[in-house]
Chains A and B, each alone.
Chain A
Amino acid sequence: EPEVTQTPSHQVTQMGQEVILRCVPISNHLYFYWYRQILGQKVEFLVSFYNNEISEKSEIFDDQFSVERPDGSNFTLKIRSTKLEDSAMYFCASSVTGDTQYFGPGTRLTVL
């Protein structure tokens, strides 16, 4: 069964460094999303992406964040200069028509 994959599963970085989290959505899906979950807190929406552009973003998604679909398969989330408070689990999701979303396993980002 097709699934969303994410790499790496765990990323450790120093504060101020740039990180790129990678996602491979399900191949025929058209809508892509990033979420994050800080340990012990609820899941938060970051951004949605459709037709090669951002369709919606939350207040969390500031200038430090960017998303890209560099080729036909990958969907990336870049954090330019990581802060301690960026430590969280980051989930990618994809959807065919914008309804049911299929989630990846997540990338745990630890900022030291």
Chain B
Amino acid sequence: KNEVEQSPQNLTAQEGEFITINCSYSVGISALHWLQQHPGGGIVSLFMLSSGKKKHGRLIATINIQEKHSSLHITASHPRDSAVYICAVQPGDDKIIFGKGTRLHILP
């Protein structure tokens, strides 16, 4: 069983739509990361959170520790948001367990 499950695996939406990507995990964690991987392979860290909610521009990340669930939202989506979005959890210490990613494609 995967310790980090993301849904959906693939998502295609029209420009301007509100996007939600979900992440569920099965282990106790000290932190959860949302990362963005561009088509060329580069990885950018979007958020690290251990409780509540964080916002950066059009991106919002929430986490519910009791339910072991996190969501990443994108408001007013744009074609440049097209990428793979990866949820990763940190059980403790330094090791990070990655999800398989959600491939997002925003159509103009």
Contacts and interface: CB of A to CB of B under 8 A. Distances in A.
Contact of B94 (A89, A98, A103, A105): A98
A48 B98 CA distance: 15
Contacts of A35: 96
Interface in B35-50: 35, 37, 41-45, 48
A65 interface: no
A100 interface: yes
A106 B95 contact: no
Nearest to B38: A105
Contacts of A106: 41-43
A13 interface: no
A43 B4 CA distance: 12
Interface residues of B, number: 21
A41 B97 CA distance: 13
Contact of B43 (A41, A43, A50, A108): A43
Contact of B98 (A43, A89, A102, A103): A43
A45 B45 contact: no
Nearest to B94: A48
B42 A42 contact: no
A75 to B, nearest CB: 14
Interface in B71-90: 86, 88
Nearest to B96: A45
8 contacts: A42-B101, A43-B88, A45-B98, A56-B93, A56-B95, A89-B41, A99-B31, A101-B48
